[in-house]
Amino acid sequence: MKTQIKRFLLTMGFMTRIPINVDLGEVKDEDMHKGFLYYPVIGLVIGLIDVACYQLVSLVLPQTFGILCAMLANLCVTGAFHLDGLCDTADGIYSARKRERMLEIMKDSRIGTNGAIAMCFDLALKFAGIYYSDVRWMMILLMPIAGKMVQGALVYKAIYPRKNGIGIYVGTVSRGTVIGTMILGLIAMVLAFSGWGVAIFAVLFLLAYLFRVYITGKIGGITGDVMGAGSELAEVELLLFVLILTKYAGMPQPLLTMLRGLIG
């Protein structure tokens, strides 16, 4: 149990700005690799913080400000970690350069035109997706979970394309850990959307895998920036997919709500 708590806290400290003022003792590479299991749980923690900000601000201001504050809270909690990855990936992939130069651009901390465009559209799509959602708080809660649960599709048996440096999770995460992450993510989607949750999970996972194939074809592997970009894309895809479902099939009902309806 202590080992699992240690791995959870390590992953929390790596993925967020939440201070972990605990002596974790000796940290091994194995602890980081197996801590990958808790990615969806970290997403839940982030989502709960975002929802709390949304609800509190919406008590005193229009819900539009609540959405903006929830998005700001997400950026503060994560340190814009994944958004930075999206910007770097867009700058490198769409630089129209050779593979080696793409990787150099992705490593550059400065944001270029393509990165700025990606950031603006990412934030705009998130705001619009939440705003037009029938259950805003639920989407705010689920977005970080969606972004984390698809990471297995990006890193499992993937190749790190740089000669120097090591991707912490790329190609190092075991099959069992990835399956555990997938199960946690699937549970979250089913609880939120009942039977539709399985379809939502499958679509997001497939899109993440196709993104991996696309990026690998460009730079020969997966980097930490690509992981961040994949997380951001999954959040937007979740919003868009649920909006499409709502338009044509009605808002997917949470599992507990559906069970209550069946019981009568």
For residues 219 and 103, the answer to whether their CB atoms sit within 8 Å is: yes
**161 to 55, 158, 170, 171, 226: CA distances (angstroms):** 43, 9, 10, 11, 11
Amino acid at 100: E
Cα 17–chain centre separation: 15
The predicted pLDDT at position 21 comes to: 80
Report the alpha-carbon distance of residue 17 to residue 4 in Å, rounded.
20
Amino acid at 179: I
Considering only CA atoms, which of 230, 236, 238 is closest in space to residue 210? 230
Considering only CA atoms, which of 188, 70, 82, 75 is closest in space to residue 133? 70
The predicted pLDDT at position 260 comes to: 60
Residue in the structure block whose two tokens are 């975002």? 50
For residues 153 and 175, the answer to whether their CB atoms sit within 8 Å is: no
Using 50 as the pLDDT threshold, list the residues of the chain that sit under it. 264
DSSP 8-state symbol, 158: -
Report the alpha-carbon distance of residue 222 to residue 168 in Å, rounded.
11
Residue 15: both structure tokens together: 């993925």
The predicted pLDDT at position 4 comes to: 86
The predicted pLDDT at position 165 comes to: 63
Residue 82 sits at φ, ψ, to 5 deg, of -75, -35
Report the alpha-carbon distance of residue 126 to residue 31 in Å, rounded.
33
pLDDT in tens, 80-96: 989 999 999 999 999 98
Residue in the structure block whose two tokens are 């400000």? 65
**192 to 38, 69, 83, 198, 201: CA distances (angstroms):** 19, 23, 25, 10, 11
Residue in the structure block whose two tokens are 């700058």? 91
Report the alpha-carbon distance of residue 9 to residue 202 in Å, rounded.
29
The domain locations on the chain are: 2-14+30-255
Query: 22 Cβ partners below 8 Å, 6+ apart?
Result: 9
